[in-house]
Chain A
């Protein structure tokens, strides 16, 4: 395997040295491009108090292409489907090499704070969110408590 690009090394170092509050990203021991990520549910959101596990993988041509990020912990969110896939523009067409792992994770954290049901991925959740936001939030809280709090 080719040597790790300098940028990844730098980013990893910086993530370790100056961790972002509420976010932890630890590279896998076997693959420096694979990160175990834990994001705390932002305050004032239905996900508050939850610890959400994600996986993040830096593809071969990173930073020219976006990292692959997926929720491992089940989450009730209109932009995240049952498989944990995230609908976030910076992970798709709005990706820029100027973004980094930390910015991506911050964006994801921000996404938890501000669900965007107009650009849904999980249609049923988005529908409920639009139709009956409170129930949706209740569901989200329920899910958070059930899946993101027991450990």
Chain B
């Protein structure tokens, strides 16, 4: 037997012969690997290991040697006799293992998707086992999250129910009340009618009786007289007299009696106090369910935060599942279980591709567009889901056919047991798994080395009835098909409830509600004009440095004169004239450069309490050592300092050897002196500047009075200016205290109730009584607007008298904020312009308000803030432009502070009052504004001190409009809109000041107008959106309509390159400040993207930054940076010099933990989103602590991870509450 054994053993591998090949020398060897290894490839020979005979290898290789059939028979015989199992590897061909590259019998390893040898495979399975254990631990740990959510969902279910019940009760209540009121009134009216009828009827019958009596009396008298008044009867004279008297009386009575028809002709008429149609309409739509979530389940008025959140989570889970599933089709290496059954093998790639193609065909357009986006619209998603499940099935069935034979397949479980959200099913439902477990339990070891049952996260102790393995393997295509059908059915029915049933209705409603506030008719004219102006401006800005010089010089001259103390009075006329004569050059004056000079001067004159005189007047500078520079040197100073420092030699014409140096030094001097001005001012100049400041009042008042008188002259129907002013101020005093200026509820009364009546005594005294309802008032307003529009034309006529390039046809009826801006920036003239556009705006907002009556009142509020905004931002600048060349209004504002501001206010409120007859709103707005400034000293402070309560919050998690996924940056747009960087939805959303969705733009990608997790947003003063496109490492600029304008920057560390740019802001001059987070610096750009400067480096020292996140620039040109990892806010000047720093790590008042958002209001108060402490802190302008509020959580006024923050013009603080996926307004 021993020898027999050895005869069956290959002498090379010392193993039983496998596929023995017979050499011509009659020795046999296994074909592989033995014979293979003997081959001498060079000589194409094989040398017999036994006898060393050399044999030529046949053409087709060693396979060509004959198989030793006899030996094979012996082998079989031996196997039979010995009862050995057949060689498991029989018939297989050896390959190189793809892992250890040994030649062996390889099998496909599911782990690495390669053919590997047994050893490697078992190693891989070991790895897999360990991984599963690890993941299982994670699953265990993560499971309570699901349980939490379950709890939340349950709670929300009850919440929803109670909420709905409450709302239903409310509706019933209202119905009862309305019904009762209606019934009461009806009853009352009917009894009134009845009563009236009774009395009148009584009167009438009475009268009728009397008349009948009279008639009969007179009749009898007449008869009697006819009969007897002849000679037949003897009458005494007295009797005749009496008779005559009677008859005379009768005649008189007949002649005089007049049936007072009027009395009884009084028809009762039923007069509706309201237009019945409207009343019906009102009743018919007396309420609607306002569901904050566009896609929320239909339900209560105010679904709780938790509900919406969990809902979105739920959706997210579904999305996640779909992603996984769809990934299966798009990506080949998909190691996740998702969508795949246990033990199933992934389908071979080529096959998948063909299937894939079929699938994508259905919605390829959409898919291709949206594939990169992780969240798709629900509609498409569910559509896709259907498709997906189809394909999934088909793939699976195809796979089943393709299974390798020795591999048992896990038969698909019933679909019902699959998790509806994740697609995960119970392992215990899987017959294969159960088989394994049973085997393991019964200690029966399988021959095959198979992975033991992996640890199961959700194995149920009760195994489902399972089919025996042979049956499984026999499962035919038919079975597959039925299963498929079943699954489809299941999928269809299971997906139905996912979609909320009332969706169409909802959508309809939202579409109505979201009717864009800019009607179509605006689009044509305004968009155009705006764009043209914008482009004009752009070109101007680009060209700014060279052409600016000349006009700047001329424009500066008066200003140079100004500071001389001898000419305070003469200055006013001169500036006036310069302003008017320069109307042609006004276009140039609007460029950044000129504003720069003005602004700079403003800063130097008034940045500190004691301004540096040298900088107040460029004239002084010119007479200073730099004189030789002439205009060139001056021109350089005209430019912004950034530009100046970047280009020290701006191509000066008269080039002297020392010139460059001079200009350098001059710019240096400039910056130096800016320092001086803040640190050590020249005391002897102080009175001068004060004088100048005082003198500033002169021209301004004169001008405003001019404007007033102009207005008076031109608009005869306007009330006298003084009176107007008085009137417009009067209410301001009543509203002095920080009243709820923007409280939606009260503002209704304030604005439309008492105030307007006060204002409109002349024009529409009975406005309120005539139009008691808001609705009718809107009609009235509309009517009046038309009137106003007519009157407006004359007004604008006067206003536009002296500007050439302004676009006259910005007609009030079509005006929009952009039109306003166009008017603002396109024209050079001042006050009238302001009033015009202001009023046009007023019209605009009134015009839009009828479209959504419920928010109309709020609109009024928004308007007033608008007005204020205009005042703050542009109103004064408008003046500045007029007097540009003197010192800027900013300087006036700052040097004079409050009085001047109110002077400004007066001037413009006067403008408002010109429209008083037509617009009841604008004076109120003005007064509100005045009130705002009158209280400026204390108001913001007290306002901030009161801040705590949430006004409202916007959004919840999701990708629909109005929803967010990790909102980050936030900014306030020109019309007090809220601009939110919806980071992980890769878009920007814009809301109005009441949180009503206006528009969105952007999508995932790296092309133009596409974002990748954008972070910061900013809106410059011409309404352009500037976006820090974080993962694309660039900045993008969009026009006010959300259209892409330009992008700049790329990843890197050089100038103009970014590493995860985060916060972004822009200053009054349009410079863009970017927090270049991973480069630990701030970069500054011109509005066209030209690199201007940078500051900050990595570190914790003063002036160094570590992960700066957000940035803000105050009206005094202080740059605040949230130096997040250093837990502080640093304050820089625009040159990047550190001014101060406050805060340190901690959670006390005034301490931070990773502060993020930072904002500054126009009074300089600083608001910081203290992210790590989940609170908002407010600081005085000097950085001392004022107040903090907020805590961790997801309730109102609670935060989870704060991001950007901004202050609206009304003083409202808006903040992105990242992990709660919402924006909160305080």
With A2-B100, A3-B102 in contact, do A98 and B13 touch (Cβ < 8 Å)?
Answer: no
Can you list 13 A-B pairs with a CB-CB distance of less than 8 A? A3-B102, A3-B117, A3-B119, A6-B14, A6-B15, A7-B15, A11-B14, A64-B37, A94-B52, A96-B48, A96-B52, A98-B50, A99-B49
Q: Are the CB atoms of A98 and B102 closer together than 8 Å?
A: no
Query: Does A63 sit at the interface, judged by CB under 8 A?
Result: yes
Q: Are the CB atoms of B52 and A97 closer together than 8 Å?
A: no
Closest partner residue, chain B, to A11 (CB atom): B14
Closest Cβ of chain B to A134, distance in Å, is 36
Within 8 A of A (CB), among B108-136: 117, 119
Closest partner residue, chain A, to B15 (CB atom): A6
Most chain B beta-carbon contacts within 10 A, residue among A63, A94, A97, A99: A97
- Which A residues touch B48, using CB under 8 A? 96
Q: Are the CB atoms of B15 and A10 closer together than 8 Å?
A: yes
Query: Does B34 sit at the interface, judged by CB under 8 A?
Result: yes
Which size class do A's interface residues fall under? 10 to 19
B13-45 interface code vs A (CB 8 A; 1 in, 0 out): 111000000000000000000100110000000
A27-62 interface code vs B (CB 8 A; 1 in, 0 out): 000000000000000000000000000000000010
- Which A residues touch B47, using CB under 8 A? 96
Q: Are the CB atoms of B14 and A10 closer together than 8 Å?
A: yes
Nearest 8 interchain pairs by C-beta = A98-B49, A96-B49, A98-B11, A97-B49, A97-B12, A64-B37, A10-B14, A3-B119
In angstroms, Cα B13 to Cα A99, docked, is: 11
- Which A residues touch B102, using CB under 8 A? 2-3
Q: A10-B14, A96-B48, A98-B11 are in contact. List 16 more A-B contacts (CB 8 A).
A: A3-B102, A6-B13, A6-B15, A7-B12, A10-B15, A11-B14, A63-B12, A64-B38, A96-B49, A96-B50, A96-B52, A97-B11, A97-B12, A97-B49, A98-B49, A99-B49
- Which B residues touch A64, using CB under 8 A? 37-38
In angstroms, Cα B54 to Cα A94, docked, is: 12
Within 8 A of A (CB), among B338-356: none
- Which B residues touch A97, using CB under 8 A? 11-12, 34, 37-38, 49
- Which B residues touch A63, using CB under 8 A? 12, 37
- Which B residues touch A3, using CB under 8 A? 100, 102, 117, 119
Within 8 A of A (CB), among B65-121: 100-102, 117, 119
Most chain A beta-carbon contacts within 10 A, residue among B14, B34, B47, B101: B14
In angstroms, Cα B15 to Cα A2, docked, is: 20
**Interface positions of B (Cβ within 8 A of A):** 11-15, 34, 37-38, 47-50, 52, 100-102, 117, 119
Closest partner residue, chain A, to B102 (CB atom): A2
Most chain B beta-carbon contacts within 10 A, residue among A14, A63, A99: A63
A6-28 interface code vs B (CB 8 A; 1 in, 0 out): 11001100100000000000000
Within 8 A of B (CB), among A135-151: none
- Which A residues touch B49, using CB under 8 A? 96-99
Closest partner residue, chain A, to B49 (CB atom): A98
Closest partner residue, chain A, to B35 (CB atom): A97
Q: Are the CB atoms of A98 and B12 closer together than 8 Å?
A: yes
Within 8 A of B (CB), among A84-123: 94, 96-100
In angstroms, Cα B9 to Cα A100, docked, is: 14
- Which A residues touch B119, using CB under 8 A? 3
Closest Cβ of chain B to A147, distance in Å, is 35
In angstroms, Cα B38 to Cα A61, docked, is: 11
In angstroms, Cα B37 to Cα A63, docked, is: 9
Closest Cβ of chain B to A102, distance in Å, is 11
- Which B residues touch A10, using CB under 8 A? 14-15
In angstroms, Cα B46 to Cα A64, docked, is: 12
Closest Cβ of chain B to A65, distance in Å, is 10
Closest partner residue, chain B, to A94 (CB atom): B52
- Which B residues touch A61, using CB under 8 A? 37
In angstroms, Cα B117 to Cα A94, docked, is: 33
- Which A residues touch B34, using CB under 8 A? 97
Closest partner residue, chain B, to A100 (CB atom): B14
Closest partner residue, chain A, to B104 (CB atom): A3
In angstroms, Cα B50 to Cα A3, docked, is: 27
Closest Cβ of chain B to A37, distance in Å, is 19
In angstroms, Cα B52 to Cα A100, docked, is: 15
- Which A residues touch B12, using CB under 8 A? 7, 63, 97-98
Closest Cβ of chain A to B1115, distance in Å, is 73
In angstroms, Cα B442 to Cα A68, docked, is: 50
Closest Cβ of chain A to B22, distance in Å, is 15
In angstroms, Cα B50 to Cα A57, docked, is: 22
Closest Cβ of chain B to A59, distance in Å, is 13
In angstroms, Cα B52 to Cα A55, docked, is: 27
- Which B residues touch A94, using CB under 8 A? 52
In angstroms, Cα B809 to Cα A149, docked, is: 122
- Which A residues touch B13, using CB under 8 A? 6-7
- Which B residues touch A99, using CB under 8 A? 49
In angstroms, Cα B334 to Cα A106, docked, is: 57
Closest Cβ of chain B to A21, distance in Å, is 18
In angstroms, Cα B11 to Cα A11, docked, is: 11
Closest Cβ of chain B to A18, distance in Å, is 11
- Which B residues touch A6, using CB under 8 A? 13-15
In angstroms, Cα B331 to Cα A38, docked, is: 60
- Which B residues touch A2, using CB under 8 A? 100-102
In angstroms, Cα B105 to Cα A6, docked, is: 13
In angstroms, Cα B100 to Cα A61, docked, is: 15
In angstroms, Cα B478 to Cα A115, docked, is: 79
A118-134 interface code vs B (CB 8 A; 1 in, 0 out): 00000000000000000
Closest Cβ of chain A to B120, distance in Å, is 9
In angstroms, Cα B37 to Cα A109, docked, is: 28
- Which B residues touch A14, using CB under 8 A? 14
Most chain A beta-carbon contacts within 10 A, residue among B34, B101, B119: B34
In angstroms, Cα B52 to Cα A99, docked, is: 11
Closest partner residue, chain A, to B119 (CB atom): A3
- Which A residues touch B14, using CB under 8 A? 6-7, 10-11, 14, 100
In angstroms, Cα B34 to Cα A98, docked, is: 10
Closest partner residue, chain B, to A13 (CB atom): B14
In angstroms, Cα B51 to Cα A99, docked, is: 11
In angstroms, Cα B105 to Cα A3, docked, is: 13
In angstroms, Cα B38 to Cα A121, docked, is: 29
Closest Cβ of chain A to B813, distance in Å, is 87
Most chain B beta-carbon contacts within 10 A, residue among A14, A96, A100: A96
Closest partner residue, chain A, to B103 (CB atom): A5
Most chain B beta-carbon contacts within 10 A, residue among A6, A64, A99: A64
Closest Cβ of chain A to B454, distance in Å, is 25
